[in-house]
Amino acid sequence: MRFSVLAGAALIFIAAPASAATYTAVVTTPGVVWVTDVAPVPAMGVAIHQTMKAFVPAFAIVPVGTAIAFPNDDAFYHSVYSDSPGNAFDIGLYDTGPGKSVRFDVPGIVDIHCHVHGTMHAVVVVVDGPYAQTTTPNERVRIEGISPGRHLVHTWTGGPVAATTTVDFR
């Protein structure tokens, strides 16, 4: 089976593999590809620092249930928040130190900002499966170890939502 999906401005070519254990695609812009409906993945601990009026790292992929700490490494206040559906939060204004943590329980794209510094922006992609990979332009994505059957394949190349399609792996 071979088909294409339009996700934002990116064209993704998806091929059902000869072997049921591999997913292959070519993504024409940077982004994230992940496969769900396969197996749960344990949550993990992650930190996104606030350093020199920037979130570091400014991009993260985490499994559902992950708590992200937001330590403030700057010598001034920050206020971290998100209005993203399913993962909205506002941890308020706080000074230098370990900061606060937020648990992400809903899969999706989370845009994170600082009320104090309008140029600060980070993106967290919350995935509900163990198979996820970042992409660069025109990179062939290869995710191995997928069980046979129908699975949801998600591709995010920017914006508030990911494109989703069903792929039948036989």
| Percent of the chain surpassing pLDDT 70 | 79
Q: Does domain 2-37+129-169 have CATH number 2.40.50.180?
A: no
**Cβ neighbours of residue 19 under 8 Å, at least 6 residues apart?**
none
Tokens at 72, concatenated = 């403030």
pLDDT in tens, 105-157: 999 899 999 999 999 999 999 988 777 878 777 777 777 777 788 888 888 88
At 7, is the pLDDT very low, low, confident or very high (cuts 50, 70, 90)?
Answer: very low
Fold match between domain 2-37+129-169 and domain 45-127: yes
Q: Is the dihedral of CA 57, 43, 86, 114 positive or negative?
A: negative
Higher pLDDT, 158 or 115: 115
**C-beta atoms surrounding 17 within 10 Å:** 17
Higher pLDDT, 102 or 32: 102
At 20, is the pLDDT very low, low, confident or very high (cuts 50, 70, 90)?
Answer: very low
pLDDT score of 39: 66
pLDDT score of 77: 94
Could you tell me which CATH class the domain 45-127 is placed in? mainly beta
Q: Model pTM?
A: 0.76
pLDDT score of 96: 96
How do the domains of the chain map onto residue ranges? 2-37+129-169, 45-127
Tokens at 120, concatenated = 């600060």
